[in-house]
């Protein structure tokens, strides 16, 4: 379901996995790959990208890359490495928010979204 980018904290990845979510990790499986390759993997495997890197918004909206299913961009890392995992669980439990085909910006007390045309599957 999720593809955690290289800088996404491992304790948050483990929290999500322990909660029952499938999370592939760039730092475990593909360290050092380019953002464009991360997006290609997400498209191929139909995974939602978890990032702390705002460059993905530019790849999607400015360069019109093949869009991944969704991107969740965490603007804050927090003091605790579980911070992003807890924020994501809170987001997923909010029935007013749909993360499909969107670039979702998550802050501790705010969520903003920009929707785009769904990704192209091969």
* Window from 39-48, 64-73, 80-89, 111-120 with minimum mean pLDDT: 111-120
Chain Cα centroid distance, residue 115: 14
How many residues are given for the chain?
Answer: 122
Q: Where are the domains of the chain?
A: 2-115
Write the DSSP string, 7-40. Answer: TS-HHHHHHHHHTT--EEEHHHHSTT--HHHHHH
**pLDDT (tens digit per residue) in 46-81:** 999 999 988 888 888 877 667 889 999 999 988 999
If you ran DSSP here, which 8-state letter would residue 60 be given?
I
pTM for this model (two decimals): 0.92
pLDDT of residue 118: 59
Stretch (H or E) spanning 48: strand 48-51
% of the chain beyond a pLDDT of 70: 93
């Amino acid at each position: 379901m999720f593809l955690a980018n290289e800088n996404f904290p491992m304790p948050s990845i483990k929290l999500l996995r322990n909660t029952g979510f499938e999370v592939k990790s760039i730092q475990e499986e593909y360290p050092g790959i380019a953002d464009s390759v991360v997006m290609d993997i997400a498209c191929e495997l139909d995974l939602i990208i978890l990032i702390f890197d705002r460059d993905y918004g530019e790849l999607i909206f400015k360069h019109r890359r093949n869009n991944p299913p969704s991107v969740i961009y965490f603007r804050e890392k927090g003091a605790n490495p579980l911070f992003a995992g807890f924020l994501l669980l809170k987001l997923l439990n909010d029935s007013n928010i749909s993360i499909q085909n969107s670039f979702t910006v998550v802050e501790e007390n705010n969520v903003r979204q920009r929707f785009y045309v769904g990704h192209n599957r091969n």
